[in-house]
Chain A
């Protein structure tokens, strides 16, 4: 296995536990190359969201080594994190939209915190909102959006900055099959343009349609299916 830019993620014997609780992840080892597209499946409570949290640097492994874009996460300082996080887009399972900001402002947030001016991203954000069917809702606040609309806003926010790696946690959990298919096409299209994908899902239909490799997590162990 070669090193360098082609390796986006590399986990070696990664273990994770919350506090004194049981080990949620045990000896997880896998590597993801640039342009890969993986699904992550497993029963509820298996630790899919926890694994993703490790990958977007919200948690540190309790043991083992995790490398992201070639950087050893264990030796990263707090001030290095923003640079890496800007290369990763995340769709959170619970969306985590900011209720006091409009849909437009929520989607534009990653660009805004990166210091871009409103005039420079306005067009892109409106186009993306249009594409996910939220153009009419751009001025609405998240609390008045439906579950599926929130999900689409969350996806739009994750992809707006054209991340190199997209981590999505149940991105089709709240939408009907037609919209799910549409979103899958968005992911496949982004992947075709070079974005590496890791999508945690329960949606067997989605996995079947996409015909992409599946990483299965069960009882703390991760296996390629």
Chain B
């Protein structure tokens, strides 16, 4: 004969807590997904950007653009720390402008000529000195992408900060809900708790009879949340079709990237049930011990 549960699980069920915690965990997964994506995007942008620079040579009155471009290329190519400097031909330059100007013919327009400069990341060129040297070329301007990079990094930092703030808010509200649920369970079982005290039960014994349920709730809610989160990323990845960029590709990247990265993503996502369980268990335990200690 197995002894019956001292606190019946039917009194004050934890179903609504499970549902709410599952939603919290789901939101936490989305926030974590956003964090990983932003982090990954910043790494790939900045590593590409900082290797490359562009020199723009604008058409100036009284100069031969072809000559000036060639001069700029020669100066740059010979500069220490520069791996290569290639003049983009006009059609390539036009292609780069497509997003802004469309596919109209650029014939006759004073489109600046571009030189793509690849620098040696291990031994980068001295940018101010290169700019100085390029002063010899009329209409030349060195574009290091640093402004873009700074802008992107700032935006990424803002996004990450928002994600962290959301995670923090989720934790705080999860703790608050667990406190309320714990009080509700105690309230519903007041007569049992009083009797247990009178027959000599210690607070820790009574707390143990109750907090196991909170542990199971946290674990279950956590796994439901992660399941829904993974499903969402999968759905985003599939719905976006085969496009190479954007949210769809990023979501696919979360789920099916190289093992070393995937371990990180999955590890962080599956930390959610662990965190949910700990929050449920510790919060319930602390609340129980505080409340039980107030009784006579």
Contacts and interface: CB of A to CB of B under 8 A. Distances in A.
Given A100-B4, A101-B6, A85 B200 contact: yes
Interface in B62-77: none
Given A57-B296, A58-B296, A59-B296, A104 B199 contact: no
A58 B199 CA distance: 11
B3 A105 contact: yes
B196 A113 contact: yes
B122 interface: no
A78 B290 CA distance: 12
B296 A114 contact: no
A86 B200 contact: yes
Interface in A172-193: none
A206 B98 CA distance: 107
A91 to B, nearest CB: 11
B283 to A, nearest CB: 21
A100 B1 contact: no
A212 interface: no
Interface residues of A, number: 31
Interface string B3-44: 111101010000000000000000000000000000000000
Interface of B is mostly: loop
Q: Contact size class for B? A: 20 to 34
A112 B202 CA distance: 12
A113 B200 contact: yes
B201 interface: yes
A60 B194 CA distance: 15
A113 B199 CA distance: 8
A85 B199 contact: yes
A50 interface: no
A94 to B, nearest CB: 11
B199 to A, nearest CB: 4
Contact of A118 (B3, B6, B191, B192): B3
B195 A98 contact: yes
B200 A110 contact: yes
Contact of A60 (B10, B293, B296): B296
Nearest to B5: A100
A65 B192 CA distance: 29
A113 B293 contact: no
Interface string B195-214: 11111111101000000000
Given A98-B192, A104-B1, A113-B205, A90 B6 contact: no
Contacts of B10: 100
A101 B199 contact: no
14 contacts: A60-B296, A78-B293, A78-B296, A82-B197, A85-B200, A90-B199, A96-B198, A100-B8, A105-B3, A108-B3, A109-B196, A113-B205, A118-B3, A157-B199
Interface of B: 1, 3-6, 8, 10, 191-192, 194-203, 205, 293, 295-296
Given A85-B199, A161-B200, 20 more contacts: A59-B296, A78-B203, A78-B296, A79-B203, A81-B197, A82-B201, A82-B202, A83-B200, A85-B200, A96-B195, A96-B198, A100-B4, A100-B10, A101-B4, A102-B4, A109-B196, A113-B196, A113-B199, A114-B200, A118-B3
